[in-house]
Amino acid sequence: MELGRLEYLQALVTEFQVTDSTEAKEQVLANLANFAYDPCNYEYLRQLQVLDLFLDMLTEDNETLVEFAMGGLCNLCLDKTNKEYILEANGVEPIINCLSSSNEETVVSAVTTLMFLTTPRSRAQTTALPVVECMLRFSLSANTRLSNLASIFLQDYCSPPQVEEARNLSKHTAVGIPLPKD
């Protein structure tokens, strides 16, 4: 018997919750992140609390789970309802923390997600000074994807005074968020 979309997504969530296999969890989370790309699934994913699942996975030690959760949030946050949910759930901080990941895909998804989450109300948090400093460092990266994305973030989401303040602060510190591995 063929499962409907909601039932299939529910089966994935249930499998994620009950399995003890790390590999199975990674595969299920990757599938959920891929389903998060399709707006037809947004309501079902909200109903199944997949946004909370993705947010919870951002603090895991397993980099693969973090990568897929960050990718899933990135896919979901263009939707206004999902964006508001993530903001209300205090999701910006764990997303910012993903900027320090050594996994390139996690970092790229985190930067993109911060862009998508930036609203007049959330701008102070998504473009806080440590984030702007981090984007300045990323803009100097040899990694073209990352440097281009960070440059767009600085140009489109930050004010010139914010960028200047971060530049001045960066001149006085040797400690920063490490660049992801290529």
pLDDT-derived band at 144 (thresholds 50, 70, 90) equals very high
pLDDT attached to residue 175: 47
**CA 75, CA 42: separation in Å to the nearest integer?**
10
143 alpha-carbon distance from chain centroid:
19
Q: State what percent of residues in the chain have pLDDT above 90.
A: 90
Closest of 129, 102, 133, 97 to residue 113, by C-alpha: 97
pLDDT attached to residue 10: 97
Evaluate if residue 174 carries a pLDDT over 70.
no
Q: How many CB atoms lie within 10 A of CB 153?
A: 24
Mean pLDDT of 111-140: 96
pLDDT-derived band at 60 (thresholds 50, 70, 90) equals very high
Start-end of CATH 1.25.10.10 domains in the chain: 1-122
pLDDT attached to residue 176: 52
Convert the pLDDT of each residue in 22-49 to its tens digit: 999 999 999 999 999 999 999 999 999 9
pLDDT-derived band at 57 (thresholds 50, 70, 90) equals very high
Give me the residue label for tokens 């205090």.
Answer: 90
Evaluate if residue 180 carries a pLDDT over 80.
no
The number of residues making up the chain comes to: 182
Evaluate if residue 163 carries a pLDDT over 70.
yes
pLDDT attached to residue 3: 66
pTM surpassing 0.85?
yes
Q: Give just the sign of the alpha carbon dihedral 182, 99, 159, 75.
A: positive
pLDDT attached to residue 169: 82
Fold adopted by 1-122? Leucine-rich Repeat Variant (1.25.10)
